[in-house]
Amino acid sequence: MRILVDVNLSHTWVGAFTSQGIDAVHWTTIGDSGAPDDAVMQYGRDHGYVVFTHDVDYGALLAHTRARGPSVLQLRAQNVLPVATADLVMKVLIAHTSVFEAGALVTIDEQNARIRVLPIR
């Protein structure tokens, strides 16, 4: 699995993922920090990444376009730093690997994870 960390999340997420053996890159190291969400999505789709974000616009983009990818992992929590939420994020990634590979929008909050298989209709 490959993770593309969106600009609205800390660069420290890259280290959190790589320390668990997950290939990860922060968008600002490969793209323009001011790029629109659809450019990040296109890059993720073209290069086989799961987009990891705190932005709810990605879910709306997936629904509006009825796209089959890329998979998006949304973190909806007050504290979005790895020190507070990395354990939860890693558990969801491991438990739902096949869902991410097939294409899904997965939203994580402090209580649970919600999965919507792509395309969203």
Per-residue pLDDT of the chain (121 residues; tens, 9 = 90+): 999 999 999 999 999 999 999 999 999 999 999 999 999 999 999 999 999 999 999 999 999 999 999 999 999 999 999 999 999 999 999 999 999 999 999 999 988 899 999 999 8
Which of 13, 19, 120 shows the shortest CA–CA distance to 72? 120
Predicted local confidence at residue 110, as pLDDT: 85
**Cβ–Cβ < 8 Å for 50, 3:** yes
* pTM score: 0.96
Which of 69, 60, 67, 75 shows the shortest CA–CA distance to 8? 75
Q: How many CB atoms lie within 10 A of CB 55?
A: 18
Helix axes 37-47, 57-65, angle to 10 degrees: 70
The four Cα atoms 119, 7, 12, 102 give a dihedral, to 10 degrees, of 10
Predicted local confidence at residue 111, as pLDDT: 84
**Cβ–Cβ < 8 Å for 115, 63:** no
Predicted local confidence at residue 95, as pLDDT: 95
- Looking at residue 96, the DSSP 8-state letter turns out to be T
Predicted local confidence at residue 39, as pLDDT: 96
Domains of the chain in sequence order = 2-110 (3.40.50)
**Coil, strand or helix at 6:** coil
Q: Greatest CA separation found in the chain?
A: 36
